Amino acid sequence: YLGASILTGSDSFQEVDVKIERPTYNKPFLGGFRNVSTGVEFHNAGSQTKPPKRPHKGIQLFCKETQTTVEKNKPQQTRNATSTQMTKIGLYVSNMTDKLITPGKYFTAEEYHKRRLEAVIVLQKYFRRWHAVNLVQNLKELKRLRLAWEAEEELRKKREKEEKLIREYEKKLNPKTKEDFELLYHELQLWMQEETERINRTLTGAERKAALCALLEEETQLIACIGMHKLHANLENQQKSILHLLRKCAQPRRWKAFDGKITEMDTKSTLRGKELLEIYRSLTKEGIPKDERISVLLTVKCTVQEHDCKLTQEIVALIDREIDLLSRDVKECNLEGLRKRICTLFLQYIKIPEFNPEVAGLLKVPQDPLTLYKKVYFCHSCENYLPSTEFPVAANSRTIGRCHSCSRLENEARQREAYLKYRLILEDLRKSEVDYQDDSKIVFLVQLPDMQYLIENIWNCQSALSASSDLYDLVMVRWDKQHEWSPWNTILLTKEEADSHLKLCNLQKTYEAPFIHKMEQKHIRAKNYFAQIPVMSSFLHTSNTQANENSYK
């Protein structure tokens, strides 16, 4: 320590101790200057604080074990016993276990690496052979599976075609629906055309006239036979429609719960409908014993007597008459007319909403007569006033023409065209557009005559790719699946071609330029035809705007 006096005032001093620390290291030279007159050197001084420490690297650099290691020497003896004793006079050393070692051929490093390369090449050969064998086996297996799949597809198509032919044959043999009779009349027209051409080609003069008269007679007989089938089919379809209506009346209320389960609930009106359905089934059943028939009639009588009106009084009177005739052992064949009257009147009873509340929402004729004046049109052919749903209205029509029944009758008498194939294509198209869930509208504006014109005149009734003309195997899909279907954004293909087409992402890269140009020409023709329809004008304007934006991009 050193003592030092510090001036604290004008003439006062204070003694303090100054601690001097001797540095344990040499301070760096920071420069200085020398007095010229006295020769004393003065150095620049730094602060007396310690220099900053170096950051720790996380590794111990100095340790006691490395600086104070202990070294020792220890001899090591080999395991094999060795000797250097040699044979000499007086000493015999056996050489039976000795080995004679001769030096081999010396080879350089270049030869060594060459041998290694040759060995690697041999290994590569065997590996590539193994890989090629596996690859060929996989390709053979894929080929086998592909051929088996193609054979199955051929069998499936053949089986479907046979089943379709069998169904068509059954429809022609036992027609039930309107489409079946439409196909039957179409086949009759094709047969008439073939026979007429054959007669005109092979016969002349009086023979030709006689053959045409005989052909006309045969056609008349076939038309009468078809008419008889239609009468029987109408009776069966009428009975089926009555049972379908009664089942709807008896159907309970249904709704889906939060867990996905369907909940059913019977109301008072549905129970009433179920009761009337069972009574009607029992009433129309044939071949039942007399006692059971009387029991059914009494049940009907008790049911209708709940409401007193002219209809129920007539039903009760007819039931009493049949019970009286059954007690007299009258034959059942003589009771057919009476039983039909009872069934007809009881069906009228069921269709009255006062007696069967569930039937109110299922009747075609509304209960309020004022609603009949809203959408009712006059058919000039049959001279009947019918609702708008009974008229086929095309998209380009401006007036109301014939009703469905008159159009069907005219087709059966003159053209005898079969519209079933066009109807199936339109229904499949509408189902596929609903699956897109992009609010498609144009497909629901297109009607059956428009679809027929589109298929026959624009697409020539054949696939755009394979030229297949089987309309039952053709479908209409979007040309560009990014936009909604329209007559100017469609293509007619088979079902397999349509599935492959809808998987495409870029039409320009997939199809060739001539094919794309051909499709564009067909779309322009369709656009020119549907541009005459007023309701299509807004959609045409939207499609033109989208086309201009795409061409600009």
Q: Which residues pair with 256 in a beta bridge?
A: 262
In this structure, are 341 and 422 located in the same domain? no
Do residues 270 and 251 touch, judged by C-beta distance below 8 A?
A: yes
- Tokens found for residue 477: 């899909």
In this structure, are 490 and 519 located in the same domain? yes
In DSSP notation, 225-259 reads: HHHHHHHHHHHHHHHHHHHHHHHHHHPPEEEE-TT
Identify residue 147 by its one-letter amino acid code.
L
- Chain CA centroid to CA 205, Å: 61
Residue 92 falls within a domain, yes or no? no
Nearest 5°: the CA angle 450, 372, 353 is 115
Residue 229 falls within a domain, yes or no? yes
In DSSP notation, 369-401 reads: GGGGGTSEEEETTTTEEEEGGGS---TT--S--
In this structure, are 190 and 295 located in the same domain? no
Flag whether pLDDT at 48 surpasses 70. no
Average pLDDT over residues 502-525: 90
Residue 385 falls within a domain, yes or no? no
In this structure, are 268 and 224 located in the same domain? no
pLDDT tens column, 319-370: 999 999 988 888 888 888 999 999 999 999 998 888 888 888 887 766 666 6
pLDDT tens column, 218-248: 999 999 998 998 899 888 888 888 899 999 9
pLDDT of amino acid 68:
76
In this structure, are 425 and 540 located in the same domain? yes
pLDDT tens column, 294-321: 999 999 999 998 888 899 999 999 999 9
pLDDT band (50, 70, 90) for residue 33: confident
Residue 152 falls within a domain, yes or no? no
**Least confident interval from 115-129, 191-205, 329-343, 373-387:** 373-387
- Chain CA centroid to CA 465, Å: 23
> What does the alpha-carbon distance between residue 379 and residue 110 come to, in Å, rounded to a whole number?
106
Beta carbons within 10 angstroms of residue 353's beta carbon: 14
In this structure, are 240 and 286 located in the same domain? no
487 by Cβ neighbours in 10 Å (0-12 / 13-18 / 19+) ranks as buried
Residue 56 falls within a domain, yes or no? no
Flag whether pLDDT at 146 surpasses 80. yes
Nearest 5°: the CA angle 276, 277, 278 is 90
- Chain CA centroid to CA 431, Å: 10
pLDDT of amino acid 307:
86
> In degrees rounded to 5, what are phi and psi of residue 55?
-65, 140
Residue where the block lists tokens 């005459």: 532
Flag whether pLDDT at 83 surpasses 70. no
Helix (H, G, I), strand (E, B) or coil at 539: helix
In this structure, are 289 and 325 located in the same domain? yes
In this structure, are 222 and 313 located in the same domain? no
> In degrees rounded to 5, what are phi and psi of residue 267?
-100, 180
Residue 461 falls within a domain, yes or no? yes
Helix (H, G, I), strand (E, B) or coil at 120: helix
Rama region for 122: left / alpha / beta (φ>0; ψ in -120 to 50; rest): alpha
Q: In the chain, what are the helix, strand and coil shares in percent, each to the nearest 5?
A: 55, 10, 35
pLDDT of amino acid 552:
41
> What does the alpha-carbon distance between residue 115 and residue 109 come to, in Å, rounded to a whole number?
10
Average pLDDT over residues 15-39: 77
Q: What residue numbers bound the domain in which 182 lies?
A: 178-249
Residue 74 falls within a domain, yes or no? no
pLDDT of amino acid 179:
85
Distances (CA, A) of 329 to 61, 186, 333, 433: 128, 50, 12, 63
Do residues 294 and 324 touch, judged by C-beta distance below 8 A?
A: no
Flag whether pLDDT at 394 surpasses 70. no
Which pTM does this prediction carry? 0.62
Helix ranges (H only) for 63-108 are 64-67
Q: Which residues pair with 83 in a beta bridge?
A: none
pLDDT of amino acid 105:
85
> What does the alpha-carbon distance between residue 338 and residue 342 come to, in Å, rounded to a whole number?
6
Helix (H, G, I), strand (E, B) or coil at 31: coil
Distances (CA, A) of 47 to 27, 28, 30: 10, 12, 11
Q: Is the dihedral angle over the CA atoms 327, 328, 330, 336 positive or is it negative?
A: negative
Flag whether pLDDT at 116 surpasses 90. yes
Nearest 5°: the CA angle 135, 137, 141 is 115
Average pLDDT over residues 279-289: 88
Helix (H, G, I), strand (E, B) or coil at 169: helix
Could you tell me how many helices (H) and strands (E) the chain has, helices first? Answer: 16, 10
With a pLDDT cut of 90, the percent of the chain lying above it is 25
In this structure, are 270 and 329 located in the same domain? yes
pLDDT band (50, 70, 90) for residue 142: very high
In this structure, are 443 and 474 located in the same domain? yes
Give the DSSP letter of residue 364.
Answer: S
70 vs 146 pLDDT, higher one = 146
pLDDT of amino acid 551:
47
In this structure, are 304 and 217 located in the same domain? no
> What does the alpha-carbon distance between residue 473 and residue 197 come to, in Å, rounded to a whole number?
29
Q: How many CA atoms lie within 13 A of 162 on its CB side?
A: 6
Domain count, the chain: 3
In this structure, are 298 and 233 located in the same domain? no
pLDDT of amino acid 144:
96
Q: Which residues contact 445 (CB under 8 A, 6 or more apart)?
A: 395, 535, 536
pLDDT tens column, 161-199: 888 888 888 888 888 888 888 888 888 999 999 999 999
Residue 514 falls within a domain, yes or no? yes
Distances (CA, A) of 529 to 30, 392, 429, 440: 101, 19, 20, 20
> What does the alpha-carbon distance between residue 466 and residue 125 come to, in Å, rounded to a whole number?
47
Residue where the block lists tokens 């069967």: 356
Boundary of a domain, candidates 249, 280, 301: 249
